[in-house]
Amino acid sequence: EESIVVREGMAEILANEKKVFYNPVQEFNRDLSVAVLSIFTEERKAYQKIEPSKKVAQRCSEGITILEALSATGLRSIRYAKEVPFVHQITANDISAAAVESIKKNVLHNGVGDLVTTSHEDATMVMYRHRSDRFDAVDVDPYGSPSVFLDGAVQCISEGGLLLITATDMAVLAGNSPETCHVKYGAISLKSKACHEMALRILLQHISSHAGRYGRYIQPLISISVDFYIRVFVRVYTGQIVCKGVASKLGMIYQCVGCESITTQPLSMTKSDNKYGLPAGPPVDKLCHYCGHKHHIGGPIWLGPLHDRQFVSQLLSKVDTGEFGTKKRLQGVLNVIYEELDVPLYYLLDRLMSIVKCEVPPMVTFSSALINAGYKVSISHAHKTSVKTDAPNSVIWDIVRAW
């Protein structure tokens, strides 16, 4: 029955780990969410000045509304109430009676009862009831897969609103069980060295397909893979024409079983790209161009941008000037993300070299070779020895073989 007192950000909560879920490792996730929401609310506030006649702007005049659909101890909601400026109302919901009791206690303890409303319901029901009376931000932070909550989430989010979605079922998303991944996320995952980014792209594809059913589409602001989970922050808008264009932002992945070369193939192409009426990429049965082996096929995955660079730069300034328990780590990860090339997936340098049985050169040497050949290169925040480049596979193999 012993509760421990936990201080995180500006919140102080009583956590009883046996009864209600509390994970100190997720402080990074909560810090990042506070920073993202702070910029989002500033943007909403500015929008009100630019477009005072728009419905969303009018409704947001007193601040934004947030649903924390799976709240556990209420820690996140309390932090949002105390640390995010321009918040009007937060609903902290959980299906477990013990959790709701703990949320109530913690809300009272932190004196945020005027901002945080406690709710004891299945998250999906809360979302469906708010299909017209929508939230400006919806945080979905479940155990495992967020899949079952997405249909409700894309409907109860206001125009241009923000979805904050966590997935912790990394084994499924990262290729250990491709069929289960297809059942849960509508995409085949692959065992790949780039599995962490693949997981992000499978989740984004999944959210996008849910949104599409209601004539809505997503814009990712930042997508991260850390520790044992992934977390994406996307804005949701309405528009049939943009929705039709989404097929060109989705694609299949072909990974050679021999040399592990990765090729992506968009599900559709814009008219100007598609002169011959066929999408690009290798046909299913074509053998690998570089080593003659077969391909594994995965997807569909999201091929569009993972991050909005301008947003990431705003986020960096926010973190630089703010107080966060995980500030150093946030700065580190965000700086890498800011430099990340907008190219799907990556290779691992040590893996590339071991395929051709050569010694691994220093990362900078390898990057310079790509840059000298006229291409761009960066790493991915998802792996420290990753090589992200716009160079075609043929150029990469030329450089690797010439070593």
With respect to ligand SAM, which residue has the nearer C-beta, 96 or 331? 96
Backbone angles phi, psi at 322, to 5 degrees: -95, 175
Phi-psi sector, 292: left (phi>0), alpha (psi -120 to 50), beta: left
At closest approach, how far in Å is the CB of 170 from ligand SAM?
14
CB of 120 to ligand SAM, least distance (A): 9
Report the half-sphere exposure of 65 (CA within 13 A, side-chain side): 18
Which residue stretch of 64-72, 129-137, 208-216, 274-282 sits at the interface with ligand SAM (rule: CB under 6 A)? 64-72
Using CB under 6 A, pick the residue from 26, 208, 225, 386 that binds ligand SAM. 26
- Specify the residue, 31 or 136, whose C-beta has the smaller distance to ligand SAM: 31
Q: Which of residues 94-123 bind ligand SAM (CB under 6 A)?
A: 94-96, 99, 122-123
Q: Do 372 and 326 meet the contact criterion of CB atoms below 8 Å apart?
A: no
**Binding of ligand SAM by 142 (CB under 6 A):** yes
Phi, psi for 145 (deg, rounded to 5): -90, 140
Per-residue binder mask for ligand SAM (CB under 6 A), 192-231, x = binder: ----------------------------------------
Q: Does 83 bind ligand SAM (CB under 6 A)?
A: no
Alpha carbons within 13 angstroms on the beta-carbon side of residue 318 total 23
Residue 130: φ, ψ to 5°: -105, 30
Number of residues that bind ligand SAM (CB under 6 A): 20
Q: Rounded CA gap, 214 and 207, in Å?
A: 12
Instruction: Tell me which residue of 172, 105, 88, 95 sits closest to 127, measured CA to CA.
Output: 95
Determine if 128 is a binding residue for ligand SAM (CB under 6 A). Answer: no
Which of 64, 75, 174, 199 is the binder for ligand SAM (CB under 6 A)?
75
DSSP state of 188: B
- Per the CB < 8 A criterion, the answer to whether 84 and 41 are in contact is yes
CA end-to-end distance (rounded Å), the chain:
62
Q: How far is the CB of 72 from ligand SAM (least distance, A)?
A: 4
Q: Which stretch binds ligand SAM (CB under 6 A): 22-30, 52-60, 248-256, 287-295?
A: 22-30
Which residues lie near ligand SAM (CB under 6 A)?
Answer: 21-22, 26, 30, 70-73, 75-76, 93-96, 99, 122-123, 141-143
